[in-house]
Amino acid sequence: MRQHFVICSKCEKTTSAFHRAYSGEHLCRKCFMRSIEDKAAKTISKYSMIGYGDRVAVAVSGGKDSLSMLYVLRMLFDQHPNNGNELVAVTIDEGIKGYRDESLQIVKDFCAQLRVESKVFSYKSLFGVDMDESMVLRPSEKMSSCSMCGTFRRRAIDIAAEAVDADVIATAHNMDDQLQTFMINLLAGDIERIGWICPEPVQYATGMKKVKPFIEIYEYEIAFYALQREIPFQSEECPYMNESIRTDLREFFNRLEKDHPGIKHNAYNSMMKISKSLRNAPASKGKKCSICGRGSMGDVCSVCRTVSVLTSNTQI
């Protein structure tokens, strides 16, 4: 039987390795990798995510997204040495026995290979409890593993970025993550949080900016990129991973995309418009936590609330 090879629609020379259904393009390995790197560079410049001389802290977990982002940023910074940008990887150790150790080693080795400084910050040192302890201390299963962990992680990344003297915090959220987060907040009635999703960087009182250079890239394209670039990533699954609604939403959007290529893009564009208008609404400006003094939606922030529930449970 004769085999049909499809030629790359960009370089028109090499056999295609990837079909981008929503654009109709067939891309060879090289052109595919370049398309991801170009897309990240365009997103960075479109939203003025990184300025000249900025020191960028990349939140690196050891998964495919964050290691790919570190790789892409290293490459972009090397291409423009006169911009004077610096890179530092910050990794958060949740304190989950048997799970974090593998990724900490992967991050350490990969950073050494890329010549990137790396620092680890643990929940235990920042909040006095780690995830293994929190799972025992929580008063009920209503405090789900991933919601406690997510609350701690967001704060830990902020503290880590301040500690390494960064001007910018880059996280590897992709388009799928953002669609799921939007829907989760919508379904939970958490409208104010929708304002946080939009890709225009939030600038904090400290002057620190939060950016997401992969926000306009599909999750499976990043997975394919990591594979093509032979970027090592963690294989161990977290023992506390809960089957949250996020998993259902991921499958829902993937099913829609399969039948209607490009629908995620359309949904993303609409959601970002909504997010932007909510971010500008006066109600979303927030207050200050009466315990730690950081930005908060209520009188006490979610981190201080979680820590206080966990520690008061210890004293019982």
Closest listed residue to residue 173, CA positions, set 153, 199, 146: 199
Give me the least distance between CB of 306 and Zn ion, in Å please. Answer: 10
Q: Measured over all CA atoms, what is the biggest interatomic distance in the chain, rounded to whole angstroms?
A: 73
Which residue in this structure is represented by tokens 């056999």?
A: 15
Task: Name the residue type at position 164.
Answer: V
Q: Give CA–CA dist 118/290, Å, rounded.
A: 32
Window 294 to 313, contacts with Zn ion (CB under 5 A): 301, 304
Q: Which of 34, 154 has the CB closer to ligand SF4? A: 154
Q: Which of 149, 215 has the CB closer to ligand SF4? A: 149
Q: Fill in the per-residue mask, 77 to 106: x = in contact with ligand SF4 (CB under 6 A), - = not in contact.
A: -----------------x------------
Among 240, 274, 291, 292, binds ligand SF4 (CB under 6 A): 240
Q: Pick the stretch among 27-35, 72-80, 142-150, 245-253 that binds ligand SF4 (CB under 6 A).
A: 142-150
Q: Which of 146, 292 has the CB closer to Zn ion? A: 292
Q: Pick the stretch among 104-112, 143-151, 250-258, 293-301 that binds ligand SF4 (CB under 6 A).
A: 143-151
Q: Give CA–CA dist 211/213, Å, rounded.
A: 6
Q: Fill in the per-residue mask, 5 to 44: x = in contact with ligand SF4 (CB under 6 A), - = not in contact.
A: ----------------------------------------
Q: Give CA–CA dist 29/13, Å, rounded.
A: 12
- Phi and psi based region of residue 255 (left: phi greater than 0; alpha: psi -120 to 50; beta: remaining): alpha
Give me the least distance between CB of 284 and ligand SF4, in Å please. Answer: 24
Give me the least distance between CB of 101 and Zn ion, in Å please. Answer: 30
Q: Give CA–CA dist 201/48, Å, rounded.
A: 8
Give me the least distance between CB of 9 and ligand SF4, in Å please. Answer: 38
Among 6, 7, 136, 241, binds ligand SF4 (CB under 6 A): 241
Q: Which does 241 bind (CB under 5 to 8 A by kind): ligand SF4, Zn ion, none?
A: ligand SF4
Q: Is 159 in the site for Zn ion (CB under 5 A)?
A: no
Q: What is the phi/psi pair of residue 215, to 5°?
A: -65, -20
Q: Centre a 10 Å sphere on the Cβ of residue 289 and count the other Cβ atoms it contains.
A: 19
Closest listed residue to residue 161, CA positions, set 126, 130, 195: 126
Give me the least distance between CB of 193 and Zn ion, in Å please. Answer: 17
Give the Å distances, CA to CA, from 197 to 88, 121, 182, 246.
Answer: 24, 25, 7, 15
Q: What is the phi/psi pair of residue 149, to 5°?
A: -65, -40
Give me the least distance between CB of 306 and ligand SF4, in Å please. Answer: 13
Q: Which does 90 bind (CB under 5 to 8 A by kind): ligand SF4, Zn ion, none?
A: none
What are the start-end ranges of the E strands in the chain?
A: 18-20, 25-27, 55-59, 86-93, 117-122, 168-170, 202-203, 209-211, 287-288, 295-296
Q: Fill in the per-residue mask, 162 to 201: x = in contact with ligand SF4 (CB under 6 A), - = not in contact.
A: ----------------------------------------
Q: Fill in the per-residue mask, 250 to 289: x = in contact with Zn ion (CB under 5 A), - = not in contact.
A: ---------------------------------------x
Written as six digits, the tokens of 89 are 């990887």
In the complex, the residues that contact Zn ion under the rule CB under 5 A are 289, 291-292, 301, 304
